[in-house]
């Protein structure tokens, strides 16, 4: 590979270029979380109806999920250097556009541009790990860097968004990307390997398959957004899901689709995508569910929520160098089993909270989850992508990262479904329990026996309605935590079913680290 060999004599430059990639990916992932903390502020400033504000996030996520699987094609056409430089600059300019939007339409348009550019920056990092670095310690360190940053950004998002909103204006939620974006683009242009563009590939592009994939992924994302509220089998959701399945099926049957789905015939990548899907479901689900509990049950603000979530991020940072050492000593399948077992345990530990649970009660579950995440990412990424020929890594990285993001989207939709349906059921059960066993109801509501009203007194029951809602939401959230833990256990079955990991390909196809 020209792009890999071009960095053979410049180890420092190679790491500077890769650091620029990681910074771009970090910006793209962080942007999702910091914006969501201030949607209400943006709504008031631009006079956007509350019913449309969710599209500020949805537009970004749809564009991102469409761009991710196209990264391999874009790398072949524009080269790693120009693709990253261009994507970062588009992301930065779109951020400026978002900050100076004058209404809903302009904000959505710039969010789509942000999402398209951000979606490219995520898989390109995992491609570069194998294009720039030789198997061994360098690849392990690079994989850990990329993996930790992709999960650290969501943990830092709430506190970053909260600080920006409290001390600056909402415009800075987007303008915060400008200086890092410019510096990242300069570093990428200066230090990423030079290659020859292949613009002629665009002439032979199967535009039909591109349109089918874009429509299918967009329909799936919208369907997942609507399903918890309208029902998974509602006419709207069913139409969207069927449309997504038909569109993707037709795209896969094309002779030369823009996404090389034939790569999934490779056993390690196929199982790696399945495991990545489950990780995304648990990882993004937990990052969504914990702030929900802290906001609606504990009534904490963005900064307090961010400080609580910071525990997970710090645990990830501490565990990262340890995972690098373990990766050199322990079989990757065994390491993955340890990681997913720990991650599932950390999820399950949060499934027994009460409305009175505080920072201390959530501390150790976050430590376990944060410490296990690197072991879920590092070995899986290496056997999913590291055993492929370099010419196929970019396309495979798109599929691998798409799997994780789809898992996250489905995980959040499942959580919303549990919260919407089960919290109402639990509220009815608690109200009924007040009539039959006031003592047990007081315990679940976190109230003293003296605070319990006469169940036949409507005004008295109304007075504890907030406590009923908080308790029912907590019980529903616990159910969602245990659901995430149960799904995460499926990764252990996939790791077992995958079988032994074969030896890496010949070193002739790998970049020299000298």
Whether residue 250 is predicted with pLDDT greater than 90 in this model: the reply is: yes
Mean pLDDT of 185-201: 89
**Type and span of the H or E element at 429:** helix 390-436
Whether residue 6 is predicted with pLDDT greater than 50 in this model: the reply is: no
Q: DSSP states of 430-447 as a string? A: HHHHHHH-HHHHHHHHT-
For residue 182, what pLDDT band results from cuts at 50, 70 and 90?
Answer: very high
Mean pLDDT of 215-221: 93
For residue 457, what pLDDT band results from cuts at 50, 70 and 90?
Answer: low
Spatial separation of the C-alpha atoms in residues 220 and 406, rounded to whole Å: 9
Whether residue 98 is predicted with pLDDT greater than 90 in this model: the reply is: yes
Spatial separation of the C-alpha atoms in residues 38 and 43, rounded to whole Å: 9
Fold of 1-141+154-203: Growth Hormone; Chain: A; (1.20.1250)
CB crowding 461-474: b at 16 or more within 10 Å, else e: beebeebbbbbbbb
For residue 368, what pLDDT band results from cuts at 50, 70 and 90?
Answer: very high
Residue 505 pLDDT: 42
Lowest mean pLDDT across 6-15, 126-135, 318-327, 374-383: 6-15
Residue 241 pLDDT: 95
What Cα–Cα distance (Å) separates residue 25 from each residue in 19, 44, 64, 229? 10, 30, 12, 31
CB crowding 44-76: b at 16 or more within 10 Å, else e: eebebeeeebebbbbbbbbbbbbbbbbbbbbbb
For residue 455, what pLDDT band results from cuts at 50, 70 and 90?
Answer: low
Spatial separation of the C-alpha atoms in residues 19 and 183, rounded to whole Å: 11
Whether residue 279 is predicted with pLDDT greater than 90 in this model: the reply is: yes
For residue 57, what pLDDT band results from cuts at 50, 70 and 90?
Answer: confident
Spatial separation of the C-alpha atoms in residues 223 and 28, rounded to whole Å: 23
For residue 48, what pLDDT band results from cuts at 50, 70 and 90?
Answer: confident
Helix axes 390-436, 104-132, angle to 10 degrees: 120
Residue 490 pLDDT: 96
CB crowding 82-112: b at 16 or more within 10 Å, else e: bbbbbbbbbbbbbbbbbbebeebeebbebbb
Residue 514 pLDDT: 33
Q: What percent of the chain has pLDDT over 70?
A: 92
Mean pLDDT of 331-346: 94
Contact between 230 and 236 under an 8 Å Cβ cutoff? The reply is: yes
Half-sphere exposure of residue 102: CA atoms within 13 angstroms, side-chain side: 0
Contact between 33 and 154 under an 8 Å Cβ cutoff? The reply is: yes
Domains 1-141+154-203 and 262-421+483-500 share a fold: yes
Closest CA to 375 of 311, 315, 291: 315
Mean pLDDT of 342-367: 93
Task: Say whether domain 262-421+483-500 belongs to CATH 1.20.1250.20.
Answer: yes
Residue 438 pLDDT: 72
The pTM for the full model equals 0.88
Spatial separation of the C-alpha atoms in residues 411 and 480, rounded to whole Å: 10
Q: What ranges do the domains of the chain cover?
A: 1-141+154-203, 206-257, 262-421+483-500, 424-470
Whether residue 511 is predicted with pLDDT greater than 60 in this model: the reply is: no
Higher pLDDT: 486 or 513? It is 486
Residue 183 pLDDT: 94
For residue 203, what pLDDT band results from cuts at 50, 70 and 90?
Answer: confident
Whether residue 387 is predicted with pLDDT greater than 70 in this model: the reply is: yes
Closest CA to 280 of 372, 405, 366: 405
Residue 89 pLDDT: 96
For residue 449, what pLDDT band results from cuts at 50, 70 and 90?
Answer: low
Give, as one character, the DSSP assignment of residue 454: P
Closest CA to 76 of 441, 440, 395: 395
Q: What are phi and psi of 468, to 5 degrees?
A: -65, -45
Residues in the chain: 514
**Type and span of the H or E element at 266:** none
Residue 460 pLDDT: 63
Closest CA to 327 of 129, 484, 123: 129
Whether residue 192 is predicted with pLDDT greater than 70 in this model: the reply is: yes
Render pLDDT for 76-89 as a digit per residue (tens, 0 to 9): 899 999 999 999 99
Count of CB atoms situated within 10 Å of the CB of 413: 22
Render pLDDT for 296-320 as a digit per residue (tens, 0 to 9): 888 888 788 888 888 988 898 888 8
Residue 7 pLDDT: 41
Local structure of 486: helix, strand or coil: helix
Residue 456 pLDDT: 66
Spatial separation of the C-alpha atoms in residues 264 and 274, rounded to whole Å: 10
Whether residue 3 is predicted with pLDDT greater than 70 in this model: the reply is: no
Spatial separation of the C-alpha atoms in residues 275 and 498, rounded to whole Å: 10
For residue 175, what pLDDT band results from cuts at 50, 70 and 90?
Answer: very high
Residue 35 pLDDT: 80
Residue entry with tokens 């789509």: 112
Whether residue 29 is predicted with pLDDT greater than 90 in this model: the reply is: no
Chain-wide mean pLDDT for the chain? 86
Higher pLDDT: 350 or 47? It is 350
Closest CA to 132 of 152, 119, 146, 116: 146
């Amino acid at each position: 590979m020209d792009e890999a060999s071009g960095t053979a004599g410049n180890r420092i430059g190679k790491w500077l270029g890769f650091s620029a990639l990681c910074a771009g990916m970090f910006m793209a992932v962080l942007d999702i979380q910091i914006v969501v903390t201030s949607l209400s502020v943006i709504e008031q400033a631009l006079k956007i109806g509350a019913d449309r504000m969710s599209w500020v996030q949805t537009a970004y996520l749809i564009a991102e999920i469409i761009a991710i699987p196209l990264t391999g094609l874009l790398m072949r056409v524009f080269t790693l250097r120009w693709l990253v430089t261009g994507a970062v600059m588009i992301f930065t300019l779109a951020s400026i556009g978002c900050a100076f939007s004058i209404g809903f339409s302009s904000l959505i348009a710039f969010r789509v541009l942000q999402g398209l550019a951000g979606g490219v920056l995520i898989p390109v990092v995992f491609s570069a790990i194998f294009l720039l670095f030789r198997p061994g310690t360098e690849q392990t360190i690079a994989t850990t860097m990329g993996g930790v940053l992709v999960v650290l950004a969501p943990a830092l998002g709430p506190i970053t968004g909260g600080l920006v909103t409290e001390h600056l204006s909402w415009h800075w939620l987007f303008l915060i990307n400008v200086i890092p974006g410019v510096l990242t683009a300069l570093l990428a242009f200066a230090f990423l390997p030079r290659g020859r563009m292949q613009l002629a590939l665009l002439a032979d592009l199967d535009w039909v398959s591109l349109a089918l994939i874009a429509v299918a992924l967009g329909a799936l994302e919208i369907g997942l957004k609507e399903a918890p509220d309208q029902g998974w089998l509602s006419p709207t959701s069913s139409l969207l899901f069927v449309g997504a399945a038909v569109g993707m099926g037709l795209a896969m049957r094309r002779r030369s689709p823009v996404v090389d789905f034939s790569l999934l015939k490779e056993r390690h990548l196929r199982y790696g995508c399945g495991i990545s899907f489950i990780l995304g479901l648990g990882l993004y689900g937990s990052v969504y569910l914990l702030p929900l509990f802290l906001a609606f049950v504990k009534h904490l603000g963005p900064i307090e929520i961010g400080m609580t979530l910071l525990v997970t991020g710090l645990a990830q940072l501490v565990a990262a160098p340890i995972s690098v050492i373990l990766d050199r000593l322990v079989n990757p399948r065994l390491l993955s089993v340890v990681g997913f077992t720990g991650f599932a345990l950390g999820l399950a530990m949060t499934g027994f909270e009460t409305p009175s649970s505080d920072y201390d009660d959530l501390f150790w579950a976050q430590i376990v989850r944060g410490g296990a995440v690197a072991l879920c990412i590092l070995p899986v990424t290496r056997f999913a992508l590291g055993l492929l020929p370099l010419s196929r890594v970019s396309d495979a990285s798109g599929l691998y990262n798409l799997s994780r993001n789809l898992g996250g989207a489905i995980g959040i939709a499942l959580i919303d479904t549990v919260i919407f349906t089960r919290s109402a059921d639990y509220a009815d059960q608690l109200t009924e329990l007040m009539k039959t066993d006031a003592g047990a109801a007081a315990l679940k509501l976190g109230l003293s026996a003296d605070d319990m009203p006469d169940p036949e007194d409507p005004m008295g029951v109304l007075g504890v309605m907030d406590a009923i809602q908080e308790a029912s939401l907590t019980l529903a959230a616990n159910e969602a935590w245990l659901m995430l833990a149960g799904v995460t256990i499926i990764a252990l079955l996939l790791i077992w079913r995958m079988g032994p990991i074969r030896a890496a390909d010949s070193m002739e196809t790998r970049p020299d680290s000298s």
